[in-house]
């Protein structure tokens, strides 16, 4: 379903996040030459994100998150695009899988001023979990902090404590536990508590990251609400915060932080 169809199906609001690699794969498949690749991607990305709230990188699935802090030059992008075109000519599938190109795409998203999402941690068998550690993004996070563009770390398990640390030390980093909750089941409350050990309450977002089965959307929401309620309730009982503090924190995590990070209309 596209965003319009999704909104009609759920009788709600649906907003798009554009996958960076998908844009690059579309452009490379349209016959662009290596020297024109960077400009063509920037132009297409600007068109695709005109009504989008963010962009997403799946570098973790392709080359890993160890992306350099330096923005690649157009000459470097052209060379990488040339390698990709040569691979396509040799029969390779049109799959963006080059560290230079992933870095270029991330910087292209940042230049648009849109929040940039990163898949982090667990996924399907296509990813190598060792390459999905968010600490690998540290050079890039240092280099992009002054831009003021939100960096959104998605999923994060089993690196959720590392992600919480990054959200604490970098002003533009936000995070969630999407995908993890419905996989962890009854253990999701413990993981939410671990996430909140270091992560500022104003940086944590709710996400089910469900797909396919409708039950996953239900479970992702139910388990997160239960887990967060348990953590906040325990804090009230042991005197760590007041009931009003708990209500305010729940409001931030379940809605307010997303509204702020993605610059949404709260209505």
Residue owning tokens 């060792």: 130
In a domain, 196, yes or no: yes
Containing H/E element for 219?
Answer: helix 214-237
In a domain, 194, yes or no: yes
Question: Which of 41, 102, 113 minimizes the C-alpha distance to 71?
Answer: 102
In a domain, 90, yes or no: no
Q: How confident is the model at residue 267 (pLDDT cuts 50, 70, 90)?
A: low
Mean per-residue pLDDT for 196-209? 96
Residue 174 has pLDDT above 80, yes or no: yes
d(CA 182, CA 179): 6
Question: Which of 105, 108, 115, 103 minimizes the C-alpha distance to 149?
Answer: 115
In a domain, 213, yes or no: yes
Residue owning tokens 């230049």: 111
* 138 burial level (CB within 10 Å; 0-12, 13-18, 19+): middle
| Confidence (pLDDT) at 6 | 84
Q: Which residues contact 2 (CB under 8 A, 6 or more apart)?
A: 16
CATH number of the domain within which 191 lies: 3.20.20.140
Residue 168 has pLDDT above 80, yes or no: yes
In a domain, 232, yes or no: yes
In a domain, 43, yes or no: no
In a domain, 89, yes or no: no
Q: How confident is the model at residue 102 (pLDDT cuts 50, 70, 90)?
A: very high
Mean per-residue pLDDT for 174-180? 93
In a domain, 241, yes or no: yes
Residue owning tokens 């671990």: 194
Q: How does pLDDT run across 151-165, given as a tens digit for each residue?
A: 999 999 999 999 999
- For 74, the token pair is 């157009």
Structural domain boundaries enclosing 238: 3-18+51-67+96-261
DSSP E strands, 24-164: 54-57, 116-120, 151-155
Q: Answer yes or no: are the C-beta atoms of 55 and 116 closer than 8 Å.
A: yes
Mean per-residue pLDDT for 226-237? 96
- For 259, the token pair is 């509204």
Containing H/E element for 88?
Answer: helix 74-89
Q: How confident is the model at residue 192 (pLDDT cuts 50, 70, 90)?
A: very high
Q: Rounded mean pLDDT of the chain?
A: 95
Q: How does pLDDT run across 46-96, given as a tens digit for each residue?
A: 999 999 999 999 999 999 999 999 999 999 999 999 999 999 999 999 999
Q: Answer yes or no: are the C-beta atoms of 27 and 61 closer than 8 Å.
A: no
* Residue with more model confidence, 229 or 182: 229
| Confidence (pLDDT) at 266 | 79
Q: Report residue 188 CA to chain centroid gap.
A: 20
Beta bridge pairs of residue 173: 151
Total domains, the chain: 1
């Amino acid at each position: 379903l596209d965003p319009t169809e999704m909104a009609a199906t759920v009788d709600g609001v649906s907003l798009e996040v554009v996958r960076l690699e998908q844009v690059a794969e579309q452009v490379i498949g349209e016959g662009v030459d290596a020297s024109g690749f960077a400009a063509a991607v920037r132009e297409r990305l600007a068109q695709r994100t005109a009504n989008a709230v963010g962009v997403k990188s799946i570098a973790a699935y392709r080359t890993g998150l160890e992306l350099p802090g330096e923005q690649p030059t157009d000459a470097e992008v052209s060379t990488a695009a040339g390698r990709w075109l040569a691979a396509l000519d040799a029969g390779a599938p049109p799959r963006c899988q080059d560290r230079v190109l992933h870095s270029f795409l991330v910087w292209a998203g940042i230049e648009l001023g849109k929040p940039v999402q990163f898949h982090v941690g667990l996924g399907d068998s296509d990813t190598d979990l060792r390459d999905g550690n968010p600490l690998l993004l540290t050079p890039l996070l240092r280099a992009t902090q002054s831009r003021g563009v939100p960096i959104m770390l998605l999923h994060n398990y089993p690196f959720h404590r590392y992600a919480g640390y990054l959200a604490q030390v970098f002003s533009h980093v936000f995070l969630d536990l999407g995908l993890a909750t419905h996989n962890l089941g009854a253990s999701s409350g413990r993981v939410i508590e671990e996430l909140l050990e270091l992560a500022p309450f104003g940086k944590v977002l709710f996400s089910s990251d469900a797909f396919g089965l409708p039950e996953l959307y239900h479970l992702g929401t139910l388990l997160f609400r239960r887990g967060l309620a348990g953590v906040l309730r325990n804090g009230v009982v042991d005197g760590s915060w007041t009931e009003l503090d708990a209500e305010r924190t729940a409001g931030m995590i379940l809605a307010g932080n997303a509204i702020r990070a993605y610059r949404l209309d709260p209505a």
